């Protein structure tokens, strides 16, 4: 099992004045601890379950680019980009640029989006869910078109929601054939169908329902003629090792439980991550314990 670190709470000690140094320290510590990837939440307001809109919430791709400059080998991805925030061409360009500047370490995390209060507050259009799923599929199609070949498949793209006369993409991504695509969500009718057709990874909610979700994904792969085994099975989780590492063994058991249901990569939120010591504890006591699970 591989572990990733997701950053989705940013009210760190020292406030905005220390934000850059905190973020750099977290990135370096995560890399040294052996985390497989770093994910940054893609919101403009902080989510209510993490403190609400009055809490700090930096822009995702700016933060990822900063992390790219302060790390050397850890993977970098949005957790995850709602398709309503950016036009697909702009989104693909952002991921491509991150991939180039990081030396091929970018991932493409994408989903249909949520949190309508955020978009209403900032005046960003937030179409109904049915339309957002249609937009998500077209975004995936555009991404694969723009990441095709040396400079993109330049034939016009004509969709219901997006039209591109020339899907040119230069510089092209370093990751080949493209940055790994992760589609978030576990809806069996729509989301997992999109994973089977277009993605390299899924992102499921942790819980006893995981096996039935993976069974549905396998069925969609069979229908689409894609390789179920090649899709990375991921989920988000909470990595709480306690004040002094006293909960490390409990976390290891929880991760083994997820692995037993078929999860291969867990991308975790670490409370008090800016203290750095929880990352060191995970690197010493948790990552080695689940490496061969």
Label residue 152 by pLDDT band (50, 70, 90): very high
pLDDT at position 109: 98
Label residue 99 by pLDDT band (50, 70, 90): very high
Any idea which residue has 């994910």 for tokens?
A: 39
pLDDT at position 30: 98
pLDDT at position 108: 98
Work out the average pLDDT over 262-266.
98
- Where do the DSSP E strands lie in the chain? 2-7, 37-41, 75-79, 81-82, 108-111, 157-158, 163-164, 181-184, 201-204, 232-238, 265-269
Closest CA to 235 of 185, 176, 162: 185
Q: Give pLDDT tens digits for 123-149.
A: 999 999 999 999 999 999 999 999 999
Work out the average pLDDT over 187-207.
97
Any idea which residue has 């799923």 for tokens?
A: 133
pLDDT at position 185: 96
Work out the average pLDDT over 8-32.
96
Distance CA 63, CA 66 (A): 5
In degrees and rounded to multiples of 5, residue 225 shows phi and psi of: 75, 30
pLDDT at position 38: 98
CB 184, CB 110: distance < 8 Å? yes
Closest CA to 116 of 131, 100, 127: 127
Which is more confidently placed, 138 or 49?
138
Label residue 40 by pLDDT band (50, 70, 90): very high
What's the chain's average pLDDT? 97
pLDDT at position 86: 97
pLDDT at position 105: 98
Label residue 153 by pLDDT band (50, 70, 90): very high
| pTM of the predicted protein model | 0.96
């Amino acid at each position: 099992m591989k572990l990733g670190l997701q950053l989705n709470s940013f009210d760190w000690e020292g406030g905005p004045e220390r934000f850059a140094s905190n973020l750099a320290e977290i990135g370096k510590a995560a890399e040294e601890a052996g985390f497989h990837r770093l994910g940054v939440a893609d919101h403009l307001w902080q989510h209510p379950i993490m403190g609400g809109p009055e809490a700090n919430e930096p822009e995702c791709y700016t933060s990822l680019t900063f992390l790219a400059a302060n790390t050397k080998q850890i993977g970098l991805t949005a957790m995850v980009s709602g398709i309503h925030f950016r036009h697909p061409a702009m989104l693909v360009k952002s991921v491509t640029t991150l991939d180039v500047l990081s030396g091929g370490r970018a991932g493409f995390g994408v989903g249909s989006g949520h949190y309508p209060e955020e978009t209403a507050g900032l005046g960003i259009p937030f179409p109904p869910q049915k339309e957002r799923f249609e937009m998500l599929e077209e975004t995936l199609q555009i991404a694969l078109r723009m990441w095709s070949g040396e400079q993109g498949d330049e034939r016009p793209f004509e969709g219901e929601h997006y039209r591109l006369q020339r899907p040119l993409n230069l510089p092209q991504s370093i990751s080949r054939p493209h940055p790994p695509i992760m589609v978030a969500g576990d809806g069996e009718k729509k989301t997992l169908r999109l994973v089977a057709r277009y993605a390299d990874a899924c992102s499921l909610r942790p819980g006893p329902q995981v096996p039935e979700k993976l069974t549905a994904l396998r069925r969609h792969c069979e229908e689409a003629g894609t390789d179920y085994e090649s899709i990375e099975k991921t989920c988000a989780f909470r990595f709480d090792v306690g004040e002094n590492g006293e909960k490390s063994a409990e976390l290891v058991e929880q991760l083994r439980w997820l692995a037993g249901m078929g999860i291969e990569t867990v991308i975790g939120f670490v409370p008090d991550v800016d203290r750095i010591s929880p990352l060191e504890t995970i690197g010493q006591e948790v990552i080695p314990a689940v490496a061969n699970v």
